[in-house]
Structure 1
Amino acid sequence: MLLLPKLRIHNANALSSAYTIGFPAMTAWLGLAHALQRGLAEKFPCKFAGVGVVSHDFNLQTYKGVRDFDSSIIGMASPLKRDGKRASFIEEPRCHLTVSLMIEYEALSFEEAPEYEIVELISKLLNSRLKFAGGDLMSHGKPERMIISDENKFKILKRKLMPGFLLRERRDLMIKSMEKEEGDALDSLLSYLSVHSSCDVVDEKVSWQRIRREKGWIVPIAVGFQGITPLGAAENQRDADTPHRFAESIITLGEFVVPYRLESVDEMLWRYHVNADKSQYVCSQQVI
């Protein structure tokens, strides 16, 4: 396991999909791991098989006034035009966050390499022009290799991730809801995110309670892409030699949990799953 602790990221992309805002998509974190793998490949050939993400701090760049019902996006100022007016721009939700990444690797040569060489090269790659979910890296802790061979080693890893919240997949909630209620995926998603209020009156005293369908910190999370057109060519595409297709985001439920609640490393890691028959490219903790 390769641990990248306390990555402090500025202005990461908070628009995970066309209709969700919040924690960056899992495709961004697995894409970052793939970029690191390519950077290491010239000197230390390796394969990064899975990625776990722990959030230590998250600050969504929005503002809500005293009497406002909705929050507003804090936009970045654009340079003035010649006439002194503001140029038109598209609002881009941003967030500042601190995360730790756990990367499962498969490489004998990588394991036998000296610790200081690995740390030096990874630190150099982290401080290069890499983008972290669209944001910039401000600082980071010292990278570390760990071999999770027994329960004691796993406990050490969990202690290094505290305090923080690990993001795990809860696609199982949506599947159960759709099978039981025979609804569509969007209705199932919203049923776990909506908050209901209940009022109790006892001895002329009124008390309100907020009720959610499932306990825990349940959030929507973008985990991949669904192809909506067949493979083909598009006008002005970046790579003329690669087939092109339009796609839309795949959204599911995720849950932030404290690491000490986990019992195995597999509960932490997200992996790529490609289903060519269904035109799906998904990051998941479960076999699809």
Structure 2
Amino acid sequence: MTDTAALLLLPRLRVQNANAIPGPLSWGFPAPSAFLGFTDALQRQLRGRFDVDLVLGGCGIVCHRFAPHVARPAGRYHRVFRLTRNPYYAGWKRGFSEDKPATLVEEGRAHLEVSLVVEVRTELHEDERPDLLEVLPDLLGAMRLAGGSLLPPHPRAVQDKRYTPQWFEWYDSASDNEDAFRGLRRYLLPGFALVERSDLLAARLAELQAERLDASALDALLDLCRLNIDPVGPDPNDPDHTLWQIRARAGWLVPLPIGYAALSPLYAPGTVRRTRDAITPFRFCESLYGLGEWVSPHRMRDSAQLLWQREASPEAGIYRCTNRYADCPPISAN
């Protein structure tokens, strides 16, 4: 974190119709890659407005509200997505109307309210910071986050600075940075921050492999994220029956898509048809899953616990998002 010059807080961003299917195995909150991609897009927008070659780094994700578009059919226990036909009739694009309705496109959507903490790696003069904070609401209104549309600023933004972008200077002293981060955390409450818990996944995998040698990381991931009901012993009132108890979890753990793993070699630009452009190398990939946890920001003592960073290893074929929450112990509940 030595290259951090400041932290830019984007509070209470309201997102409409964000993508709720971040990976092939799970649905719910968007993946960290969606927010890091938003940071890259914001960096390009700011470079077009200012002469400074502004560089943005990691991104911290705090969720205040999550409302998925789901419904529970009558007599069922599972939930289904609320899907729409766009357009409603199949012949709409061909210039005439048909009685045949268009097919449903399987997509999951959700409404979000999130606060983002963006790492700034470029020194910005004090005279330029007010201009940047003033232009941010207009820039954000024309952008998309996780496939969803950003709504206008919060109605309280005019009277309450907690709903407007804030600039937090970063220092060379660790104690000064702790004080600055302590002040930033107040703007993130109430809410829950998304962090990575690869340490819990590795520990659970070791426990399963001690019981069963063929246990895989997927078995450990499913064991941590699902609802487990274990037997605790015979019923004292009825010895013929067994008492069952829900296994306590280590925290609010969720399966999390954290990047991509290569399925093919890296092809030269222009050699694969129908790619995005002819100047970028291309590679076929699959989703890479890990373990995430929702924690309260007041449990954090360092910005490194909050920020997600990019990590790429083209030789190994790994492109993933990383978080250092497990490297620093959280603040005790006591």
Question: TM-score if structure 1 supplies the norm length?
Answer: 0.91
- Cα distance 1:179–1:215, how it changes in 2: closer, same or farther (>3 A)? closer
State the Cα distance separating 1:153 from its structure 2 match. 2.3
Paired residues for 1:60-99 under 5 Å: 60-78=68-86, 79-81=88-90, 82-99=97-114
Q: Counterpart in 1 of 2:46?
A: 40
Q: Which moved more, 1:110-119 or 1:269-278?
A: 110-119
User: Which runs of 5 or more residues in structure 1 are unaligned?
Assistant: none
Q: Does 1:215 align with 2:257?
A: no
Overall identity of the aligned pairs, in %: 33
Question: TM-score if structure 2 supplies the norm length?
Answer: 0.79
- Take 2:243 and 2:74, find their aligned partners in 1: how far apart are those partners? 24
- Take 1:139 and 1:249, find their aligned partners in 2: how far apart are those partners? 33
Paired residues for 1:220-259 under 5 Å: 220-232=255-267, 233-259=271-297
| Runs (4+) off by over 6 Å | 204-207
Instruction: Indicate if the aligned counterparts of 1:9 and 1:139 stay in contact, CA closer than 8 A.
Output: no
- Cα distance 1:150–1:235, how it changes in 2: closer, same or farther (>3 A)? closer
Q: Counterpart in 2 of 1:56?
A: 64
State the Cα distance separating 1:207 from its structure 2 match. 7.5
State the Cα distance separating 1:193 from its structure 2 match. 1.0
State the Cα distance separating 1:2 from its structure 2 match. 0.1
Instruction: Indicate if the aligned counterparts of 2:251 and 2:293 stay in contact, CA closer than 8 A.
Output: yes
Instruction: Indicate if the aligned counterparts of 2:84 and 2:105 stay in contact, CA closer than 8 A.
Output: no
State the Cα distance separating 1:111 from its structure 2 match. 4.4
Instruction: Indicate if the aligned counterparts of 2:311 and 2:320 stay in contact, CA closer than 8 A.
Output: yes
Instruction: Indicate if the aligned counterparts of 1:225 and 1:280 stay in contact, CA closer than 8 A.
Output: yes
Q: Counterpart in 2 of 1:282?
A: 320
Deviations 1:151-176 (A, max 9, x none): 33222211110000000101112222
What secondary structure does 2:261 align onto?
strand
- Take 2:127 and 2:264, find their aligned partners in 1: how far apart are those partners? 45
Q: Counterpart in 2 of 1:188?
A: 220
> Which one has more relative contact order, counting CA pairs under 8 Å at least 6 apart?
1
Q: Does 1:272 align with 2:310?
A: yes
The CA RMSD over aligned residues, in Å, is 2.2
Q: Tell which structure's C-alpha radius of gyration is larger.
A: 2
**Which of 110, 120, 136 is the aligned partner of 2:149?**
136
**Which of 300, 303, 311 is the aligned partner of 1:262?**
300
What secondary structure does 2:219 align onto?
helix
Q: Does 1:155 align with 2:177?
A: no
What secondary structure does 1:100 align onto?
strand
Instruction: Indicate if the aligned counterparts of 2:182 and 2:301 stay in contact, CA closer than 8 A.
Output: no
- Cα distance 1:50–1:113, how it changes in 2: closer, same or farther (>3 A)? farther
Q: Counterpart in 2 of 1:127?
A: 141
Instruction: Indicate if the aligned counterparts of 1:15 and 1:93 stay in contact, CA closer than 8 A.
Output: yes
Residue correspondences, number: 284
Q: Counterpart in 1 of 2:131?
A: 117
What secondary structure does 1:254 align onto?
strand
State the Cα distance separating 1:268 from its structure 2 match. 0.4
State the Cα distance separating 1:5 from its structure 2 match. 0.1
